[in-house]
Amino acid sequence: MNWTWFHRLGSPPHIYRIAGTLTPWFAWPAGLLIAAALYGGLVLAPPDYQQGEGFRILYVHAPSAWLAVMIYGVMASAAAVGLIWRMKVAHAVAASCAGVGAWFTAVSLLTGMLWGKPMWGTYWVWDPRLTAQLILLFLYLGYMGLRAGIDDLGRADKASAVLAIVGVVNIPIIRYSVEWWNSIHQAPSVMKMDRPSMPFDMLAPLLMMLLGFTLYFAAVMLVRLRAEILRRERTASWIREVLR
Amino acid sequence: MTEFFAMGGYAVFLWPAYLVTLIAIVANVLIARRAHDGAKQEARRRFDLEDEGSTT
């Protein structure tokens, strides 16, 4: 088997260049999808038969919550690859995920509170789903704090990777909390095995938002990754060529 | 139009939720760009220092 692709995958100048080329290909579709979904979600989608116009918070809440969990998955997977195959670029990817993940976890909590108040009558309850999502925020912050607290890069990579991997246990808890426990949080409307419980006008903007946010994350993460690679490679001669 | 912004009485919850999300989207683009620009500048400065050191 030819392993050249694997070594190229781990080569910082190669990744730096690829990341730069790919970024606009993620950023533009993301912007268009989010703009279209905004119009679809706020204007075209019919009001919910129970929640009226209030349900439209869904279009910012669900994509943020999806990003929060999805980014953690990417971060922990990259951290695992970095630990197992000692691939430094993988650690750089993990490190580039954490900040964005923390932001959108906070957004999912805040938008959830703003949705909870009119629908449940309270901003916050210590519900399994909500609590697990709050723990996710602490995991991100702990990961970032741990990295910031260790000067030696190699040790910071390893220690933070272990934390990220251990924290994965929280992900199924978030995902299945509404099924395992008698949660106040409503069950998922899209990712069900049977038919989605939404009319098309409502569902289409949501799916576009989910895809748009995912592409947006890819673009932002790649820019952060380039910064991370430059900082790690500080003395490498290829950076001279790139910056010329 | 007024009806649209009223959002059936949910305006006080709905618009802040959208605003928070918008802030996060814009902020993360700015943070990422600043990190990359900062890293490039720092690298340039370091190379300039090295070049000075080697010529004198």
* pLDDT score of A79: 98
* pLDDT score of A2: 67
* Interchain proximity A220–B28, CB inside 8 Å: yes
- Residue A100 neighbours by CB under 8 Å, 6+ apart: A67, A71, A217, A220, A221, A224, B28
* Interchain proximity A230–B40, CB inside 8 Å: yes
Count how many pairs of residues, chain A against chain B, have C-beta atoms within 8 Å. 96
pLDDT winner (highest mean) among A2-6, A205-209, A232-236: A205-209
Residue A190's pLDDT band (boundaries 50, 70, 90)? low
**Lowest mean pLDDT across A7-16, A67-76, A77-86, A107-116:** A7-16
pLDDT at A104 over 80: yes
Average pLDDT over chain A, rounded to whole? 92
For residue B38, list chain A residues with Cβ-Cβ distance below 8 A: 227
Q: Is A66 on the interface with B (CB under 8 A)?
A: no
Q: Tell me which residue range forms the domain holding B16.
A: 2-55
Query: Quick one: tokens of A118?
Result: 């009119």
Domain ranges of chain A: 22-44+52-190+197-243
The percentage of chain A sitting over the pLDDT mark of 70, rounded to a whole number, equals 94
- Residue A230 neighbours by CB under 8 Å, 6+ apart: A16, A239, B36, B39, B40, B42, B43
- CATH code for residues A22-44+52-190+197-243: 1.20.120
Interface test with A, best of B15, B23, B25, B34 (most A CBs within 10 A): B25
Partner-chain residue, chosen from B10, B17, B21, that has the shortest CB–CB distance to A53: B10
Residue A55's pLDDT band (boundaries 50, 70, 90)? very high
Region B39-52: what's the mean pLDDT?
89
Whole-angstrom distance, CA of residue A90 vs CA of residue A83: 9
Interface residues of B toward A, Cβ cutoff 8 Å, are 4, 7-10, 13-14, 16-18, 20-21, 24-25, 27-29, 31-33, 35-36, 38-40, 42-44, 46-47
CB A37 within 8 A of CB A212: yes
* Interchain proximity A230–B36, CB inside 8 Å: yes
Neighbours of A148 (CB within 10 A): 10
Looking at the structure of chain B, the number of domains it has is 1
Q: Is A114 on the interface with B (CB under 8 A)?
A: yes
Region A226-236: what's the mean pLDDT?
90
- Residue B55 neighbours by CB under 8 Å, 6+ apart: none
* pLDDT score of A194: 57
The residue in chain A having the minimum alpha-carbon distance to the alpha carbon of residue B21 is: A107
Alpha-carbon distances of A26 from A22, A23, A96, A152, rounded to whole Å = 7, 5, 16, 33
**Residue of A166, A162, A172, A100 whose CA lies nearest to A132:** A172
Partner-chain residue, chosen from A104, A117, A220, that has the shortest CB–CB distance to B13: A117
End-to-end CA distance of chain B: 69
Region A195-201: what's the mean pLDDT?
76
Is the pLDDT higher at A43 or at A184?
A: A43
Task: State the DSSP H helix or E strand holding residue B43, giving kind and residue range, or none if neither.
Answer: helix B11-55
* Interchain proximity B17–A47, CB inside 8 Å: no
Q: Is A220 on the interface with B (CB under 8 A)?
A: yes
